[in-house]
Structure 1
Amino acid sequence: MSGEDEKNSSSTQTPTANTSTYVPGRVGIVGLGLMGGSFAKAFAKGGREVYAWNRTHATVELAMVETIQGELTPDVVPTCELIILCGYPEVCVQWLEDMQDLISPRAIAIDTAGIKRSICDKCFAIAADKPWTFVGCHPMAGTQYSGFGHARANMFHNAPMVVVPPPMDDFARLEVLERLKNLLAPCEFGSFTLATADFHDRQIAYTSQLAHVVSNAYVKSPAAQAHKGFSAGSYKDLTRVARLNAPMWTELFLDNADYLSAEIGTLVTNLLAYKQAIDERDSAQLCTLLEEGDRLKKEAERR
């Protein structure tokens, strides 16, 4: 997720059914935080037309200076071939529900949230009988900072993109995925990995969410307040993601509570084994634990 976008609230306008044709390559972005802003800048650099909406209108005005063509209003939504939802998970779902009848036939809508089950279950249902397609997505890129001011055009350069396609036959899926890759070309993703929402959330609980929990908890040691002069790369690496958008990560953690709790439980069990070996001054057991971790890390890197 990285996702650090501002929490948005969608339009309350009741749209009418749309039968218009989109402008090829035009992009609509909901939320101009770190993720949405980086998408906007990447597309603008690639020569695409970009329209965006953000809860704080001043951010839209700032983006209009050199990044976007204008605001993503209800009358602009039907003209977009690609719509990217970069808000909080609940905001993504609400916006799509509100605007479902405005989206142009054959357009593609994606999200960027760090969890997929709670997003995809609802958004696939919204799009099920529509002439456009929703695809769950998670760009594996980001920083510990948030907001449009930290967005950059090269955020996604060589980064992996996880894609959760909707239920459809193989030929339709292939066509949608090829179109999506072409539409996202200006972002320069390094790879596209297909996954189910369940597998994504299980893996992300370990690779991303657990890392944020550990980093955030690690800096609660009183020793952290006196680290200057005593810390180097290890401290910097382990504390980088301790800085986070607490409301956003709270929602992401609770949406994936089952898998994240299981990962925390596994970590606690492993830490207690190290603690016991250290408390008992058991050098043989401690060495075995350390060698095991080293071996498993090397095995994971070879996969």
Structure 2
Amino acid sequence: MTVGIIGLGLIGGSLAKAFRREEGITVLGWDADPSITEFAQLAQAIHGPLTRENLPSLDLLLLATYPEAVVEHMEKLAPLLAKHTMVIDCAGTKEKVCQGVFPLAEQYGFRFLGGHPMAGTHNSGFKYSRADLFDGAPMVLVPPRFDDIRLLDEAKTLLKPVGFGRVSITTAEEHDKRIAFTSQMAHIVSNAYIKSPTARTHEGFSAGSYKDLTRVAWLNPDMWAELFLENRDNLLFELDTLMEHLAQYRAAIAGEDFPALRQLLEEGRRIKEEVDGR
């Protein structure tokens, strides 16, 4: 099997290293920074560079770039792909990507699924990539049709060397709605929370709660700003919902209303238990 990867940062580099674990898989890579492609080859994460000449040999092409870049790459590469090649993107939002690439796949005859590997770290870049990043992690796939079982089975087979755990199938719209809550909001809340002036004097007074809440404040501003704006409507809904709830807590505390505050806390505790268990 031959796998091509566009974008050799944390996600793309980790995908390359995961595929390199298995014998019989050739991994080709490309990054906008040629020095990263060279370093990835020296680090034996890839066998060689991905070029226009070897593009038709791919069984699987993965695009680990920003959403807008996925569409731009595919507009250029679509005419060069072989019909047997399966293409899966790994961007953090899906609507713009799928709207842009599904028509290209239909026009040129290759197979395309939107994808989102649900793993990462607060660090970015190839130097932080590792082969086991996705071991047991969820993978979300967005197919053009839900009744194409053969396509989904082939996608799962091609991705098997990466080590994903659960594979979820959804629509681009539903993906972006859920990811606004599960991922994007967590980054915004963490990033805003750390801006308190008290943060500079926390040492010696913080433990697990502080670490859990602030871990993803250390983010890639360019990437997350693009993802937030790509998912604007869903994210605004989650922000408005959060601010409405925070206002209720503030009112109860300001009014020294113990029964109201306790009820708010109990509601949150109960919902957490319902959705995630103890």
Task: Identify the residue that residue 74 of structure 1 maps to in structure 2.
Answer: 52
Amino acid at match of 2:118: M
Task: Identify the residue that residue 64 of structure 1 maps to in structure 2.
Answer: 41
Identity between Structure 1 and Structure 2 (%): 48
Q: Distance in 2 between matches of 1:119 and 1:55?
A: 19
Matches within 5 A, 1:50-199: 50-65=27-42, 66-167=44-145, 170=147, 173-199=148-174
Q: Distance in 2 between matches of 1:302 and 1:197?
A: 28
Pairwise CA distance, 1:302: 4.4
Q: Distance in 2 between matches of 1:283 and 1:64?
A: 61
What do residues 180-232 of structure 1 show as CA deviations (whole Å, max 9, x unaligned)?
Answer: 11111111100110001111010000000000000000000000111111110
What do residues 8-52 of structure 1 show as CA deviations (whole Å, max 9, x unaligned)?
Answer: xxxxxxxxxxxxxxxxx2000000000000000000012321000
Pick which of 159-168 and 231-240 moved more: 159-168
Pairwise CA distance, 1:58: 1.1
> SS in structure 1 opposite 2:20?
helix
Pick which of 66-75 and 32-41 moved more: 66-75
Pairwise CA distance, 1:176: 1.1
1:282 to 257, 261, 268: 257
Higher RCO (CA < 8 A, seq sep 6+): 1
Structure 1: tracts of 5 or more residues without a match? 1-24
Pairwise CA distance, 1:131: 2.0
Matches within 5 A, 1:208-227: 208-227=183-202
Task: Identify the residue that residue 7 of structure 2 maps to in structure 1.
Answer: 31
Q: Distance in 1 between matches of 2:151 and 2:198?
A: 52
Pairwise CA distance, 1:124: 0.5
Structure showing the higher helix proportion among its residues: 2
Amino acid at match of 1:59: I
Task: Identify the residue that residue 237 of structure 1 maps to in structure 2.
Answer: 212
What do residues 43-102 of structure 1 show as CA deviations (whole Å, max 9, x unaligned)?
Answer: 001232100000111111111121211111100110111000011111111111101011
Pairwise CA distance, 1:271: 0.4
Name segments (4+ residues, structure 1) moved above 6 Å. none
Q: Distance in 1 between matches of 2:54 and 2:247?
A: 56
Amino acid at match of 2:46: I
Task: Identify the residue that residue 202 of structure 1 maps to in structure 2.
Answer: 177
What do residues 111-149 of structure 1 show as CA deviations (whole Å, max 9, x unaligned)?
Answer: 011111011111111111222111000011000000000
Pick which of 143-152 and 56-65 moved more: 56-65
Contact 2:5 / 2:12 at 8 angstroms: preserved in 1?
yes
Contact 2:4 / 2:58 at 8 angstroms: preserved in 1?
yes
> SS in structure 2 opposite 1:64?
helix
Q: Distance in 1 between matches of 2:54 and 2:84?
A: 16
Q: Distance in 2 between matches of 1:88 and 1:46?
A: 27
TM-score scaled to structure 1, two decimals? 0.89
Q: Distance in 1 between matches of 2:229 and 2:266?
A: 34
TM-score scaled to structure 2, two decimals? 0.97
Amino acid at match of 1:152: R
- Aligned CA RMSD, in angstroms, stands at 1.1
Q: Distance in 1 between matches of 2:73 and 2:169?
A: 25
Q: Distance in 2 between matches of 1:264 and 1:252?
A: 15
